[in-house]
Amino acid sequence: MKKLAAVLLGGALLIGSLPSVSAADLPDEQWTPISAPNGEGWRSLYMGDNTTLNRQPSSMFAESTTANGYPIADYHCVSVDSPKCVELPRINALAFLQPCSQAIATNCIESFYAITANGERIDAVSPTKYPTTGQWDFPENRTINLPAGGSPMIWNLPNLTHGGGTTQYMVQAFTSSYLQKSANTAVTNEQFKLENLTVNVAPVKIIAGRYLQQDSQDFTQTSTGTARGVGHPSQDEWRYCAMIDNGSCAQRQAFPSNTQFGVKIRLQHKITGWLHGRIYNPDARISTVASGEQVIEVTALPINVPVVGEWFKWDQLSPAIQQYILDGKIEGGQGYFTTKNAPNGNFQEIFDVTGQKAFDALSIWLPQIKDKASANPSTWTFYNLKDWELQDANHCIKDATDLVGFVTTNATTYSAGTPSFNEGTQSLDYKVMSPHYTSKGEVARGTYDLRIRSEVARCIYGFTSAPIQASISILSEDGSAQTATQTINEKDGWLSLSANGFTYSSPTIAVKLSQVAPAPEVVVVPPKATSTPTPKAKTTITCVKGKTAKKIVAVNPKCPTGYKKK
């Protein structure tokens, strides 16, 4: 969360100059928090996906850190051979991946497509950079696993018109990588490690306005002395833009209904662990090709995700929120950081949508906003879990050498990590939280999809290779069971479980796997063979008495009394 604060800080003082737009006048995809109201002591919590994808352009930084790794100062580099990138021991590379081509054969977007309700596949064509160029773009370097850092692409999906009336869709495959080396030495054979991957699809429409590209700032440029930041010089509303160029904005639009979207990514080095995101009924195909590259292909429907972001005056806030602020728990966001923990501060806290802090913040704000979302934009996005987010994962997942699972939900906040294994109930538990009502006042219906490699599920439970049975239960906060539509199957080495139709605010989803114990093996012992004695052969002798003779036939013949053997 501290890094998010640094990224957002560059625009903290500009946000108040943006005009307010009534939510009733806009589709949910273009809803943004209103500008900070006039006066002092206004507060808000904003939770929504992809709040930073349109802020940070592709850039490379040399980073100075504290002993425990906290960033102190970042400095722009045009390449790994820039003076600061030679001087400092850590280099960070933030890159929007480019389409695969002869020039860029890896760390790239291999394909983008849609599948309509009738099963027709539409392959995207004519990818175009937007914005056209970036100030800090950098070329790829395959020898050190450095992706090419450029602008994201707008693709055309012929005849697939979205809510904005065009066939333009932006694909943002954003990576964050780092390289560690000795100070005051040039990079030789060290490798960049891909730490974070975010893949997002957004229908867009280009609109003209008083827009300027986001300004990537390093330590020498940030007005507050933070490690780095982003300046937002646009005068017109830019937060509903998927990306911004000089003079125009790629404005987000609603997805066409009943249409799946698919993205295929090729990575030079494998990422391992777990994926999570905001899509519905995903089909994930993860493979390693002969070259050792990893191919990740995800096809799924978009999903509507509740967003919150209303403002309240200090004296309107609940005692729980006031105490939360006074206790100094506010971290990143938009506003005046010097007074963010004071009653007179104007500040909107912005959280990543995952993690315990997000749960803590949203739980005290739900009563304040009357358990109702501000908007429910349609979303298609997924992420990987960072290494530190896997620290508490089961060893079957943490020690995996590939991606082994994928969990998605439409909850406002959720446990991005792997489902926790409950020893008592022998279930995989997953926590979600969201407003009970949509922005239109309807009861929100939850979705949950879990995909886990069968071998990993068997490892967690200590199962054999025999078939697995599974069940899903949805437990409300009071412990009562909810009814939900469930789908469970095992195919191609993956166990897939889905539940939808349950209600929020804060249910726990429990997945229980079982396996029928194999019947005891019956060993058939053949009866011991009984030997039959071989009958002995009979012999014949002749016995005589005077002139009388008799032949005696027997096994052991003997002459009668008075007879002699002849």
Residue 248 to residues 211, 231, 244, Cα–Cα distance (Å): 6, 17, 6
- Range in 104-113, 173-182, 407-416, 419-428 the model is least confident about: 419-428
| Band of pLDDT at residue 154, cut at 50, 70 and 90 | very high
Task: Decide if pLDDT at 7 tops 80.
Answer: no
Q: Using one digit for the tens of pLDDT, what is the confidence trace for 310-329?
A: 999 999 999 999 999 999 99
Compute and round to an integer the Cα radius of gyration of the chain: 35
Identity (one letter) of the amino acid at 496? S
Judged by DSSP in three states, 464 sits in coil
Give the Cβ contact number of residue 558 at 10 Å.
11
| Band of pLDDT at residue 523, cut at 50, 70 and 90 | low
Residue 161 to residues 167, 206, 254, 425, 538, Cα–Cα distance (Å): 5, 14, 10, 48, 106
Which whole number is the average pLDDT over 498-524?
Answer: 79
Of residues 359 and 531, the one with the higher pLDDT is 359
What does the pLDDT read at residue 3? 35
What does the pLDDT read at residue 14? 34
> Facing residues of 174 across strands?
96, 198
Cβ-Cβ contacts under 8 Å for 530 (sequence gap 6 or more): none
What does the pLDDT read at residue 22? 47
Asked if residues 300 and 280 have their Cβ atoms less than 8 Å apart, the reply is yes
- Range in 105-109, 246-250, 289-293 the model is least confident about: 289-293
Q: Using one digit for the tens of pLDDT, what is the confidence trace for 35-80?
A: 678 889 999 999 987 666 788 899 999 999 888 778 889 999 999 9
* Angle between helical axes of 356-365 and 319-326 (0-180°, round to 10): 140
What does the pLDDT read at residue 56? 86
Q: What is the mean pLDDT of the chain?
A: 87
Nearest to 509 by CA among 434, 427, 451: 427
Task: Decide if pLDDT at 478 tops 60.
Answer: yes
Q: Using one digit for the tens of pLDDT, what is the confidence trace for 257-278?
A: 999 999 999 999 999 989 999 9
Spell out the alpha helix ranges (H) of 35-153. Answer: 83-87
Spell out the alpha helix ranges (H) of 392-453. Answer: 395-398
What does the pLDDT read at residue 525? 65
Which whole number is the average pLDDT over 139-168?
Answer: 97
Percentage of the chain with pLDDT > 90? Answer: 56
